[in-house]
Structure 1
Amino acid sequence: MGKMIYLDNAATTKTAPEVVEAMLPYFTEMYGNPSSVYDFAGKSKDAVTKGREQIANVLGAQKEEIYFTAGGSEADNWALKATFEAYKSKGNHIITTKIEHHAILHTCEYLEKERGAKITYLDVDENGVVKLDELEKAITPETILISVMFANNEIGTLQPIKEIGMIAKEHGILFHTDAVQAFGQVPINVDELGIDMLSSSGHKLNGPKGIGFLYIRKGVKIRSFVHGGAQERKRRAGTENVPGIVGFGVAAERAMHSMADRTAKEVLVRDHLISRITSEIPYVKLNGHPKKRLPNNVNVSFQFVEGESMLLMLDSFGICASSGSACTSGSLDPSHVLLAIGLPHEIAHGSLRLTLSEETTMEDADFVVDKLKDIVANLRSMSPLYEDFIKKQNK
């Protein structure tokens, strides 16, 4: 096997060297507990404050509005559960979509079954975009929260976040967005977009794993999520993950400064991949919006092919890819996102997600397509369904 070509950056990214370098002293030299009063611990406290400021600057937020968590899933859980508890005297209705990450969908299921919430799961169009008129129609006097992801983790579609924020504000409803895939990949200003809460995770933008944050706009009444000490302004107890916060702050700042050049390069390679795959391999479909999508996302479905077989054969050539969300990669069920955009089961099963990084080259892309052409042809040659289809086509 030659070099590894890593095309699963939506699952996790490589931690950047400068991020690791910034984190290291807080493991062995400045290891004090930020809650302690002596000067040595003050260095850790200052580092947490700096990380909070770095992240707030990327969002156009205030540092007091950033609350650190253990990751994006915790931040999503906090936004939904704590909002429901805080606003249930006003209503019990939450609006979300059918293509959310399971951190949102499973939390909504819990609130429905265990807490008496009413949840509306909005349909999306064939590109995975929320229909704004249906969002408006779904609002009732009991609606307390709208939660729509910024960018889909599987098909890369970007949602009309500003328009959703305006609708929420017009109706006096809180608006949360899961921005785990979007933060660091596209510009986000919480004030301009009307976002009240936003979730993110460090390991999606060359930061460390095990650290995330929830942005909570000042004035939003939301309950504490973890009880104990006074950390995170008494809303999320537990000794802070100082190295993780330092790393996340550096990664966020790095992503902001490199965003324009980095994503422009990713778009070129992405579009080259899409062009070659869709023009050189028959019976293939691009999933997600053709233009309004993450700069690094390619999601395609191949008829008469099993996604798992493709992944194993790609792996034999040193190519790391995915058939959907990393959280469901062990599932035999087709992606709920692909089903929601109207793909039949048999085509959804043949999906492939390729997510690039700034290190992905045109040469990498060409190597992947060349191997993919052979793999798809080989798999189809063993498919009775494909054989029958070709016979019918040739009649």
Structure 2
Amino acid sequence: MIYLDNAATTPLLPEVVEAMTDVLVNNFGNPSSTHRFGRQASQIVRQARETVAQALHVPPGTITFTSGGSESNSTALIGYALANRQKGKHIITTAIEHPSVLNALNYLKSRYGFDVTFVRPQHDGSFPAHLIKNLLREDTLLVSMMMANNETGQLLPIREVGQLLENHQAAFHVDAVQAIGKIPVYPEDLKIDFLSASGHKFHGPKGVGFLYHRPKLQFDSIIHGGEQEEKRRAGTENLHSLIGMAKALQLATENMNNNYLHVEKLKSLLLQDLSDVDCYTHEFGPSMPHVVNLGFPGRNHDLLLTKLDLSGVAISTGSACTAGTVEPSHVLEAVYGSQSPQLKENIRVSFSELTTEDEVHAFVKLLKERAL
């Protein structure tokens, strides 16, 4: 089996499995308990928080653990909007965001009457910062933008927008799920107020993530109950997953440069192997090499995906969170329009540092022989 769907999820690293297993076997205490078992468990939570904070160059107190990117996005967007609506009800986001952002904002729009502006890219797919600047209003409460697109790898102008908002009341939320662990991400340097991440995108476990929030920001809790996470997120902590995510992020940070260079080479090899095939890339300016969105003129992507799956290759046609639907990619639709044939002839190939050069060559060979 050739796995090329790392933008959907990544396999656990052996070191991560080892760290998680050690906690599962030896630390079953509740971190909220005051006895020795609870204190040991609480120390694991602190250790995980400090490791994550160190990777982002932020204080540990700015990290809240969640169940993943979707919860982090909802907490930042819904929690902040509801707690601060007296400042205004205008929110700006992009039309190419992950469904967990789009649906959270549509919820605020339909249930609470927020005015949400969904900004489309330019005709060439690029997304310069002035698209946000032109729509800012005095009552703009929040701007939400992903760092790297999950379907195309496109890098959005986070630094420029952060600078743009430095003297504006709007809080800046960044969905960094596809970027964390792959490129340096330092929220304070980028002037980010909220940042979302998910462990399973950088070889950690599923069902765990975190939200960075600038100190003193006021936002409502989404999950109510106990006083865990400084009363910001109730629920008994998922110890083994927290330590697994922290270990995975530590390893990703330590090996980031070499990992990036490896993935960059994989993308180059892929495009080189495809040089004699009638295809094109959906690439809209600066992008991460981890995601390559390919188009094959006149070829239905669902059929391509099925043929490759039967040949032992795992890829996708877009976001795993919209898999199983018959709707075309909303990301490509935002660029090309709803009637473009390009919406039905694309596939997404996504790499990690565990992907090998041989797997890339084998994938292209199978694509040519069995799918095209």
Residues of 1 paired with 2:124 and 2:197: CA distance?
Answer: 24
The letter for the 1-side match of 2:40 is: K
Deviations 1:308-329 (A, max 9, x none): 1111111122111001000112
Aligned counterpart, 1:281: 277
C-alpha deviation, 1:130, in angstroms: 2.3
Aligned counterpart, 1:390: none
TM-score normalised to structure 1 length: 0.91
The letter for the 2-side match of 1:304 is: G
| 1:93-132 equivalent positions in 2, closer than 5 A | 93-126=90-123, 128-132=125-129
- Shifted more, 150-159 versus 121-130: the winner is 121-130
Relative to 1, partners in 2 of residues 1:215 and 1:129: Cα closer, same or farther, differing over 3 Å?
A: farther
Secondary structure of 1:280's aligned partner: coil
The letter for the 1-side match of 2:309 is: D
Contact 1:34/1:42 (8 A) holds in 2 = yes
Contact 1:185/1:295 (8 A) holds in 2 = no
Secondary structure of 2:86's aligned partner: coil
The letter for the 2-side match of 1:19 is: V
Structure 2 residue 204 is the aligned partner of structure 1 residue 207? yes
Q: Name which one, 1 or 2, has greater alpha-carbon Rg.
A: 1
C-alpha deviation, 1:157, in angstroms: 0.3
Aligned counterpart, 1:52: 49
Structure 2 residue 317 is the aligned partner of structure 1 residue 320? no
Aligned counterpart, 1:152: 149
Secondary structure of 1:213's aligned partner: strand
Aligned counterpart, 2:323: 329
Contact 2:307/2:371 (8 A) holds in 1 = no
C-alpha deviation, 1:198, in angstroms: 0.4
Residues of 2 paired with 1:73 and 1:17: CA distance?
Answer: 26
Residues of 2 paired with 1:57 and 1:125: CA distance?
Answer: 37
Structure 2 residue 178 is the aligned partner of structure 1 residue 181? yes
Residues of 1 paired with 2:22 and 2:41: CA distance?
Answer: 10
Deviations 1:308-360 (A, max 9, x none): 11111111221110010001121111100011121644221111101012122
Corresponding residue to 2:356 among 351, 358, 361: 361
Deviations 1:62-106 (A, max 9, x none): 100000011100110111101111110010011000000000001
Contact 1:97/1:130 (8 A) holds in 2 = no
Contact 2:140/2:169 (8 A) holds in 1 = no
Residues of 1 paired with 2:270 and 2:3: CA distance?
Answer: 14
Secondary structure of 2:91's aligned partner: strand
Aligned-residue CA RMSD in angstroms?
1.3
Secondary structure of 2:87's aligned partner: coil
Residues of 2 paired with 1:126 and 1:326: CA distance?
Answer: 26
Corresponding residue to 2:187 among 186, 190, 207: 190
Relative to 1, partners in 2 of residues 1:261 and 1:127: Cα closer, same or farther, differing over 3 Å?
A: farther
The letter for the 2-side match of 1:317 is: S
Corresponding residue to 1:233 among 207, 230, 233: 230
| 1:1-395 equivalent positions in 2, closer than 5 A | 4-126=1-123, 128-277=125-274, 279-282=275-278, 284-289=279-284, 292-342=286-336, 344-377=339-372
C-alpha deviation, 1:148, in angstroms: 0.2
Residues of 1 paired with 2:59 and 2:82: CA distance?
Answer: 25
Deviations 1:224-248 (A, max 9, x none): 2211111000011110111111101
Relative to 1, partners in 2 of residues 1:263 and 1:26: Cα closer, same or farther, differing over 3 Å?
A: same
Secondary structure of 1:148's aligned partner: strand
C-alpha deviation, 1:219, in angstroms: 1.8
Relative to 1, partners in 2 of residues 1:367 and 1:126: Cα closer, same or farther, differing over 3 Å?
A: farther
C-alpha deviation, 1:125, in angstroms: 2.9
Deviations 1:267-293 (A, max 9, x none): 01112212332x2111x2211235x21
The letter for the 1-side match of 2:20 is: M
The letter for the 1-side match of 2:194 is: M
The letter for the 1-side match of 2:298 is: F
Residues of 2 paired with 1:128 and 1:197: CA distance?
Answer: 25
Residues of 2 paired with 1:128 and 1:70: CA distance?
Answer: 32
Structure 2: gaps spanning 5 or more residues: none
- Shifted more, 188-197 versus 337-346: the winner is 337-346
The letter for the 2-side match of 1:323 is: T
Contact 2:5/2:314 (8 A) holds in 1 = yes
Secondary structure of 1:253's aligned partner: helix
Residues of 1 paired with 2:131 and 2:9: CA distance?
Answer: 33
Residues of 2 paired with 1:117 and 1:218: CA distance?
Answer: 25
- Shifted more, 234-243 versus 367-376: the winner is 367-376
Secondary structure of 1:24's aligned partner: helix
Residues of 1 paired with 2:103 and 2:70: CA distance?
Answer: 10
Relative to 1, partners in 2 of residues 1:187 and 1:70: Cα closer, same or farther, differing over 3 Å?
A: same
Aligned pairs, number = 371
